[in-house]
Amino acid sequence: MRATGFWLALGAVLLAALAMTALVANQYYYFAGYVVLQYVVLATAWNILGGYTGYVNFGSAGFFALGAYSAVALTKLSAPPLPVLILAGGVVSGLVGLATGYLTLRLRGVFFAIATLALSVVLHTLIINWDFVGGSRGAYTMRPPPLVFDSYIKLLFVTMLLLALVAVGAARFIERSWIGRGLAAIRDNEQAAACSGVPTLRLKLFATTTSGFLMGAAGAPFPLYVTYLDPSSAFSLAYAVNSIAMPLIGGTTSWIGPVIGALLLGTAQQVATVTISSAANLLIVGLLLVGFVILAPEGIVGLWRKLAGGRRQ
């Protein structure tokens, strides 16, 4: 897809969502759509580090929760507008990602993955013992009156859609730029990339910072979405699992893979929540992940490329 067509498609999606807010009155669609779009941001953010660079991050829930609790802390101090909360949550998580990357990117493979998991555990412990943001008791957040839409959930839905479009646009730009080529070289053979003059450390720090920023930005509106935030919901296992599973199912080598995986899995989980039980969400993720790992290890995008290549031959 050419650049002009890509940006026109993003604009069309935004216009369709704005038209939806004027035509659809059922609030459930906005609640469910918010969750799906949130997973689009998380999956895309994870893929910048895990897919493009090859460094598996098990700490997605930690970065997401850090953005959420940054918003809670700012709300208690001065109640700034939603864009400021999103920017602050992204900056805090991005700085933590930068620091974490600088300390852990000399680790590789399972050692790096364990380090990111340990970071999430440390952040969880700190939040539980931080009384200013509610600690283990949690914290309530009051929604301000909406200024643009007739309900605040519509505002959150459109806001998360904008974040998803920004994340997807950034991922596509990174993939097709010299940065993406450098990250791919690191993923394929980091030592060979370093010997070829690729600035491996700077690119890895860029990936950890960008990934952390997007995850934190996705978490910042979450307290206003649920209105009550506690550590168990902010650090939910679902965020860590889905952030990994969605890119793997969609395909990690392209920007479109996490989007496909998030839309597929996110929609399936929302349908299962209504028709079966929310407890079935991780079961669905596990079954699909096992199936794709066995039948299509390169995800839906890789499977499509193989089928398209076979037809041409």
Find the helix or strand (DSSP H, E) in which 139 lies.
strand 139-140
Residue 287 located in a structural domain: no
- Its domain, for residue 207, covers 3-236
Residue 218 located in a structural domain: yes
Check residue 1 and give its pLDDT: 61
Domain count, the chain: 1
Residue 196 located in a structural domain: yes
Q: Which two tokens stand for residue 78?
A: 């001065």
Of 59, 44, 109, nearest in space to 250 by CA: 44
Instruction: Name the more confident of 30 and 287.
Output: 30
Residue 38 located in a structural domain: yes
Residue 29 located in a structural domain: yes
Of 184, 225, 222, nearest in space to 203 by CA: 184
- Cα atoms in the Cβ-side hemisphere of radius 13 Å centred on 3: 7
Whether 194 and 43 have beta carbons less than 8 Å apart is answered as no
> How large is the greatest C-alpha to C-alpha distance in the chain, in angstroms?
64
Of 130, 104, 129, 108, nearest in space to 118 by CA: 104
Residue 194 located in a structural domain: yes
Residue 299 located in a structural domain: no
Check residue 108 and give its pLDDT: 79
pLDDT in tens, 234-276: 998 889 989 999 999 998 888 999 999 999 988 888 888 877 7
Average pLDDT on 67-84 reads 92
Place of tokens 């960008």: 210
Is residue 157 exposed (0-12), middle (13-18) or buried (19+ Cβ within 10 Å)?
A: buried
Q: Using pLDDT thresholds of 50, 70 and 90, give the confidence band for residue 297.
A: confident
pLDDT in tens, 128-148: 999 999 888 989 988 888 778
Distance CA 65, CA 235 (A): 6
Residue 281 located in a structural domain: no
SS3 state of residue 236: coil
DSSP one-letter code for 229: E
Please give the distance of CA 129 from its chain centroid, rounded to a whole number: 26
Distance CA 192, CA 189 (A): 5
pLDDT in tens, 165-197: 999 999 999 999 999 999 999 999 888 998 988
Backbone angles phi, psi at 139, to 5 degrees: -140, 140
